[in-house]
Amino acid sequence: MRIRRSEDRGSFKLDWLNAKYTFSFGEYYDANNMGFRDLRVINHDTISASGGFGKHPHQNMEIITFILRGELEHKDSLGNTEVIKPGMIQIMSAGKGILHSEFNPSPFNETELFQIWVTPNELGGKPSYSSFEFSNNIKTNTLNLIASNNSEDGVGLIKQNTEIYYVEMKDFEMSFEENSSYWVQMIEGSATIDNEEISNQDGVSIEFDNIKLSSKNAKALIFKF
């Protein structure tokens, strides 16, 4: 088990953007934090009112957006336009190439999100875009599956054998499977994992270890590899 403390993440600022980088990204380089398994990027972005990323290209990456608060307007070269909100997950499979832009459509309020990159299981594939609304199906103290590579799961579809879960914890305890690897990304609140305290925005990598996670009150994303 290895903990990536939120205060140790890389940072980047513009007049409209405050970004925290769990792994190396852009001009931020940390040889000890290049990713975990198929997980390449977790960027914690806060975007000012009317701010955003202009049109830019991507290739060969599964790009997942998880909104924490506010809204984000997506436009891409496939003709997709959508405003995503909390309780939704957006997945863009860049494949052989796609252009897109992402803006905060509000003239008043900030947008806060995780942008997550997962390496795909195929290169040069057909680009695609989708979104999945999960907010109406959330059960407390349950690993709620929100993305997988199995279309029969009825959740967001990614081109990699990675599962993404959202969990809202209230007096919660779970054990991780010893034959799998996990990344726990805290959203808010605090928890205990293998007798270590973790809290808001901390991340934890777990490899083939049957350790326990418990929390009185927290929210998190859990990636299973």
| pLDDT of res. 74 | 98
Give per-residue pLDDT as tens, 47-59: 999 999 999 999 9
With contact defined as beta carbons under 8 Å apart, do 115 and 61 qualify?
A: no
Domain segments of the chain as ranges:
7-139
Which two three-digit tokens encode residue 137?
A: 């199906």
* Mean pLDDT value of segment 75-95: 98
pLDDT of residue 24: 99
Amino acid at 57: P
Give dist(CA 70, CA 182) in Å, integer. 28
What share of the chain has pLDDT > 90, as a percent?
A: 100
Distances (CA, A) of 96 to 20, 62, 120, 121: 28, 12, 11, 13
- What is the value of pTM for the model shown? 0.96
CATH architecture of the domain covering 7-139: Sandwich (2.60)
